[in-house]
Amino acid sequence: MEHQIFNKFIRFIEARLSPGGEFGLHLTAGLALLVAAAAVFGDLAEDVMGKEAITVLDMQVAHWFHAHAFEPLTSFMLAVSLAHTGYGMVVLVAALGWHFWRVQARYWLLALLVSVPSGALLNVALKYHFQRARPAFDEPLVTLMTYSFPSGHTSAATVFYGLLASYLVIARPQWHVRLGTAVGCCLMVLLVALSRVYLGAHYLSDVLAAMAESVAWLAVCITAISTLRRRREATI
């Protein structure tokens, strides 16, 4: 009896770590990423709302960037931020969506159309839940009336570039292309996050929480749609 239970357990573990199958390795990796990212977000939110040490660091970083702002860096950061606002994200999503449509990557197109808009709605809901005020300066570089935690620009960039990196890593067999893609997309997310902190629109913890939030949400979307694809393929 114990031997049978042990064998069933081993088969269960092997199935969860198998690249094939509708509930294989992709689902296991997605759930692990979701749990890890959600835990990071939860810790950050708890520390921010409890006014722990990270809020002191937030103030120090915000004031340092504000005191050291200079041209043409400020204009560059404004351009980066503008490119990832609402209208900018519509253009980016439309361009990537057109590519997915052209190469008939319909499940990736579905993932894009689900993850980015729903991720934006999730971010707005979190902002109104936590209701954290934005950084305040005597002479601000930007002035916004919405809440600060977590960063909407960083969240949108994380979902978009995270999805793009996931697609290219799978679609491109060359290891150097995969590595370059992953590094490039990570750098774009970090650049957007830096622009928001530099401009005084967000605290450091705002952009870190946005990254964690969006990684968790992207893991949900990609895993769900990948599972849907595998289940449909299994029935064919």
Is 116 in contact with 173 (CB distance < 8 Å)?
no
pLDDT tens per residue, range 35-63: 888 888 888 999 888 888 889 999 999 99
Instruction: Kindly report the number of other CB atoms within 10 A of residue 70's CB atom.
Output: 6
Confidence of residue 126 (pLDDT cuts 50, 70, 90): very high
Going 142 to 144 to 147 to 150, the CA torsion angle's sign is negative
What is the predicted pLDDT for the residue at 236?
55
End-to-end CA distance of the chain: 37
- Distance of alpha carbon 116 from its chain centroid, rounded? 10
Confidence of residue 222 (pLDDT cuts 50, 70, 90): confident
Confidence of residue 94 (pLDDT cuts 50, 70, 90): very high
Task: Calculate the CA dihedral of residues 205, 120, 88, 61 and round it to 10 degrees.
Answer: -10
Confidence of residue 20 (pLDDT cuts 50, 70, 90): very low
| pLDDT above 80 (res 19) | no
Cα gap 27→111, rounded to integer Å: 15
Cα gap 129→145, rounded to integer Å: 16
What is the predicted pLDDT for the residue at 181?
85
Residue bearing the bigger pLDDT, 195 or 182: 195
| pLDDT above 70 (res 21) | no
Question: Rounded to two decimals, what is the model's pTM?
Answer: 0.83
Instruction: Kindly report the number of other CB atoms within 10 A of residue 178's CB atom.
Output: 16
